[in-house]
Amino acid sequence: MESKGNIIVTGGAGFIGSHTVVELIEEGYNPIIIDDFRNSEKFILDRLQEITGVKIIAYNFDCANQEKLQEVFEKHKPSGVIHFAADKAVGESVANPLKYYQNNLGSLVVILDTCIKNNVTNFVFSSSCTVYVEPEETPVKETTAMGYTASPYGYTKQVCERICQDTAYANPELKITLLRYFNPIGAHSSGLIGELPIGVPNNLVPYITQTAVGLREELTVHGNDYDTTDGTCIRDYIHVVDLANAHVKAIEAAKNSKEAVVIYNVGTGVGSTVLDVIQAFEKVNNLKLNYKIGPRREGDAVTVYANNEKVVSGLGWKPKFSLEDAMQHAWNWQQKLK
Ligand code: UFG
């Protein structure tokens, strides 16, 4: 198959990045990874090779390094860039805001500048439903107002979106797609790549799988007195492979786009409570999870799930995997890690 072109993937060894590399290869693209492995593992590159049967091209440096970036752009002449590399821990960002402003904003500025200097016309940015904070309407539409976010991490996503928009309007050749992810979970069905949280996981699904495998004693459900069907918070959990596929579709669609910037919510459109997720995990894997109900976690929104009509019609994308599939794949990955 003739290659559809080179796509630079910053953070390509990370959770969503690595799954996107697989999808890009399956769709005929040639991904070029830039990752400094500060929050990912080198063995993921071997795994990517094992899954795809393709020699993976990867560069190990901080993508805020413009000189090195320029060399890679000159060598590979990418037709598109997907920018994942960023810090993403909400709590850490409160403790160390400058790290987040420097890394998340700094690298974006450098990469966009390098795109313009090298006539790259297609840029996809990893945004998040965190920009809505506590959304004023659900399901959440792209037009739902952004809220005031107390977390520097969340604020970097809002500012990065603005940086992308300003850049796209000033540089009409560069088409930018902002993908606002809801809650990515699961792993590749091979069990060869998946999420690798550092230390004690903050997120629900890695906490569940680490508890089931015996790394954590029990899961605490953060509050069951919310105004929802079972009292626990509602989120839109999306299988990481489906999310990865949305990036490939975004790259394809931008080739013929007349708009400078397009924003998509990437979620399943279905809200699940914390207890729904636990039950799906127990059912599909035939396990009992050790969990207790604890107090609310500060800063949690009650209900966040996507209206995904725009991404379904605009990109011809729809999720293929269920919550159960994701919980089975996450468990498969966790067991192979042990
Ligand atoms: N939860 C628990 N116990 C845990 C972990 C999580 O009950 O041990 C609950 C949370 O309270 C929440 C739900 O599971 O109700 C999902 O929590 P996550 O931490 O997995 O995900 P969040 O929706 O809180 O956070 C995610 C991303 C953030 C992003 C945020 C935006 O991880 O990066 O969405 O809403 F900022």
User: Residue 338: what pLDDT?
Assistant: 65
User: Residue 2: what pLDDT?
Assistant: 82
Alpha carbons within 13 angstroms on the beta-carbon side of residue 257 total: 24
CB 332 within 8 A of CB 191: yes
User: Residue 82: what pLDDT?
Assistant: 99
In this structure, what token pair is assigned to residue 228?
A: 């929802």
The predicted-structure confidence for 2-33, as pLDDT tens digits, reads as follows 899 999 999 999 999 999 999 999 999 999 99
Determine the Cα–Cα distance for residues 300 and 151; give it in Å rounded to an integer: 12
Q: How far is CA 157 from the centre of its chain?
A: 12
The predicted-structure confidence for 282-317, as pLDDT tens digits, reads as follows 999 999 999 999 999 999 999 999 999 999 999 999
| Phi-psi category of residue 11: left, alpha or beta, with phi > 0 → left and psi -120 to 50 → alpha | left
CB 247 within 8 A of CB 83: no
CB 160 within 8 A of CB 84: no
- 189 CA to middle of ligand 1, Å? 23
**Can you say whether the dihedral through the CA atoms of 127, 128, 129, 130 is positive or negative?**
negative
Indicate which residue's Cα is closest to atom 29 of ligand 1. Answer: 130
Q: Is the pLDDT of residue 1 over 80?
A: no
Q: Among this protein's residues, is 29 annotated catalytic? A: no
What phi and psi values does residue 143 have, to the nearest 5 degrees?
A: -90, -5
Which of ligand 1's atoms lies nearest the C-alpha of 222? 7
Taking residues 208-222, report their average pLDDT.
98
Pocket of ligand 1 (CB under 6 A): 88, 90, 128-130, 154, 183, 202-204, 207, 219-222, 233, 235, 274, 297, 300, 304
Determine the Cα–Cα distance for residues 101 and 87; give it in Å rounded to an integer: 10
- 203 CA to middle of ligand 1, Å? 5
The predicted-structure confidence for 46-76, as pLDDT tens digits, reads as follows 999 999 999 999 999 999 999 999 999 999 9
Determine the Cα–Cα distance for residues 106 and 86; give it in Å rounded to an integer: 10
User: Ligand 1 test: best mutation among 104, 161, 179, 274, most atoms within 8 Å of CB?
Assistant: 274
- 65 CA to middle of ligand 1, Å? 32
Check 29, 59, 100, 153 and give the catalytic one.
Answer: 153
The predicted-structure confidence for 75-109, as pLDDT tens digits, reads as follows 999 999 999 999 999 999 999 999 999 999 999 99
267-299 in b/e form (b: 16+ CB < 10 A) is bbbbbbbbbbbbbbbbebbeeebebeeeeeeee
Q: Is the pLDDT of residue 164 over 70?
A: yes
Q: pTM to 2 decimals?
A: 0.98
